[in-house]
């Protein structure tokens, strides 16, 4: 490794830095050709002096400045250009002798290019002999850093050059499939599966890729991508009842995220709806606990799927507590309460719902509070009796009853936005 080229942001070193940051190939070549500058393709920048480098580092947040110690932050021309996708500048440096696997800051330029999803840079680095299995100071190989929707081509290039598909990161124990599944990257997941990724590999938390795919909180917009990932994993044979170290299963995690399509997929594939985690929670408990915070995900859909697949209902004495937690999602409350022939509504129930919510949903909450004034309707009681009779096999038996479609949907807890 060449000596550190710059600890101060001035002179030829600063001009070199600015040429690299801007991707200015002409200025870059001019800096390298300047006699007596001491600059080269393998120069190392030490940017740890915050007074010197503050304005230059703050304008270059994507430079991948990795800490070697608490005092040093080291990077090279190759890292800067690879992390920004500056293909021509990268080629200039490589043709002028840049060491392709130089990693003064803990990661190679190939790591930087993969993290930036710069596929052309990845291709060029590999053609110059970059190690596709290089391990960073953080214990990651380049394939672990393919973490964006645009990084599938980077992963394909790595795999075609011999990158191991099932390598685990050193600290978390994640395989590339764990990473892609957790981030909801269906194209990358499909690619890894085609190359033999292990469906049942477990990381340091005992998570399989399917558990990882179900675990992270995600927006409603991202729910479709996570569903596609889970569908691919399940269709490839992933175990839907696998458990992590806390006995959390895919269904527990999907319910916690109120991803109704994933919940339905897992249940259709035989996920155990009533098994508990170490904390004593079932999937239904998880869904109810987050209903008020996952409104954009329509948590009532998740709750309905679970109940129609035989989830054990909440103890009636705890329904007031559930109301306090879930009243922001009236349809979740409706779905749950429509599984009971009798609901112990008291004045405390009215006090549990904020007045603002009552004003937003007056019809529903009036019908809820009225349940304490008499028995529920005969139609509802018949529904409860039928659901009780078919408990655990409702979805299998119901088609054989040949009920009219509207009545069948009523039995399956169709949303009506009121209770009777």
pLDDT, position 61: 41
* The three-state (H, E, C) secondary structure of the chain, written as one string: CCCEEECCCCHHHHHHHHHHHHCCHHHHHHHHHCCCCCCCCCCEEECCCHHHHHHHHHCCHHHCCEECCCCCEEECHHHHHHHHCCHHHHHHHHHCCCCCCCCCCCCCHHHHHHHCCCHHHHHHHHHCCCCCCCCCCCCCCHHHHCCCCCCHHHHHHHHHCCCCCCCCCCCCCCCHHHHHHHCCCHHHHHHHHHCCCCCCCCCCCCCCHHHHHHCCCCCCCCHHHHHHHHHHHHHCCCCCCCCCCCCCCHHHHHHHCCCHHHHHHHHHCCCCCCCCCCCCCCHHHHHHHHHHHCHHHCHHHHHHHHHHCCCCCCCHHHHHHHHHHHCCCHHHHHHHHCCCCCCCCCHHHHHHCCHHHHHHCHHHHHHHHHHHHCCCCHHHHHHHHHHHHCCCCHHHHHHHHCCCHHHHHHHCCCCCCCCC
pLDDT tens digits along 373-391: 999 999 999 999 999 999 9
> pLDDT of 217-256, one tens digit each?
889 889 999 999 999 999 999 999 999 999 999 999 999 9
Which pLDDT score, from 0 to 100, does residue 220 have? Answer: 87
Q: What is the pTM of this model?
A: 0.90
Q: What is the band of 402 on the pLDDT scale with cuts at 50, 70, 90?
A: very high
**What value does the mean pLDDT take over residues 331-346?**
97
21: pLDDT strictly greater than 90: no
Q: In percent, how much of the chain has pLDDT > 90?
A: 80
């Amino acid at each position: 490794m060449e000596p550190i080229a710059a600890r101060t942001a001035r002179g030829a070193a600063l001009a070199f830095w600015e040429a690299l940051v801007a991707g200015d190939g002409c200025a870059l070549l001019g800096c390298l050709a300047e006699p007596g500058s001491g600059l080269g393709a393998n120069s190392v920048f030490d940017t740890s002096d915050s007074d010197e480098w503050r304005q230059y580092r703050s304008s270059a947040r994507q430079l991948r400045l990795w800490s070697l110690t608490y005092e040093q932050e080291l990077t090279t021309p190759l890292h800067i250009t690879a992390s920004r996708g500056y293909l021509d500048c990268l080629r200039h440096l490589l043709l002028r002798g840049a060491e392709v696997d130089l990693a003064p800051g803990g990661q190679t330029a190939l790591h930087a290019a993969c993290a930036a999803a710069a596929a052309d840079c990845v291709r060029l680095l590999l053609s110059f002999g970059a190690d596709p299995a290089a391990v960073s100071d953080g214990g990651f190989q380049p394939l672990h850093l393919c973490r964006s929707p645009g990084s599938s081509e980077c992963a394909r290039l790595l795999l075609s050059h011999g990158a191991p598909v099932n390598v685990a990161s050193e600290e978390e124990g994640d395989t590339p499939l764990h990473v892609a599944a957790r981030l909801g990257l269906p194209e990358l997941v499909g690619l890894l599966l085609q190359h033999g990724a292990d469906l049942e590999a477990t990381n340091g938390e005992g998570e399989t890729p399917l558990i990882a795919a179900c675990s992270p909180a995600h927006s409603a917009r991202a729910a479709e991508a996570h569903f596609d990932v889970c569908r691919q994993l399940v269709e490839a044979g992933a175990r839907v009842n696998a458990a992590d170290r806390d006995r959390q299963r895919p269904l527990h995690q999907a319910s916690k995220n109120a991803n109704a399509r994933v919940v339905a997929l897992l249940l259709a594939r035989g996920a155990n709806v009533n098994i508990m985690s170490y904390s004593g929670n079932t999937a239904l408990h998880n869904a109810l606990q987050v209903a008020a915070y996952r409104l954009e995900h329509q948590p009532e859909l998740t709750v309905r799927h679970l109940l129609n697949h035989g989830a054990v209902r909440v103890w009636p004495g705890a329904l007031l507590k559930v109301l306090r937690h879930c009243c922001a999602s009236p349809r979740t409350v409706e779905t749950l309460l429509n599984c009971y022939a009798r609901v112990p509504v008291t004045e405390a129930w009215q006090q549990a719902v904020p007045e603002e919510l009552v004003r937003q949903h007056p019809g529903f909450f009036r019908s809820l509070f009225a349940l304490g004034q008499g028995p529920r309707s005969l139609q509802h009681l018949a529904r409860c009796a039928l659901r009780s009779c078919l408990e655990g096999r409702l979805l299998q038996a119901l088609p054989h009853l040949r009920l009219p479609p509207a009545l069948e949907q009523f039995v399956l807890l169709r949303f009506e936005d009121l209770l009777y």
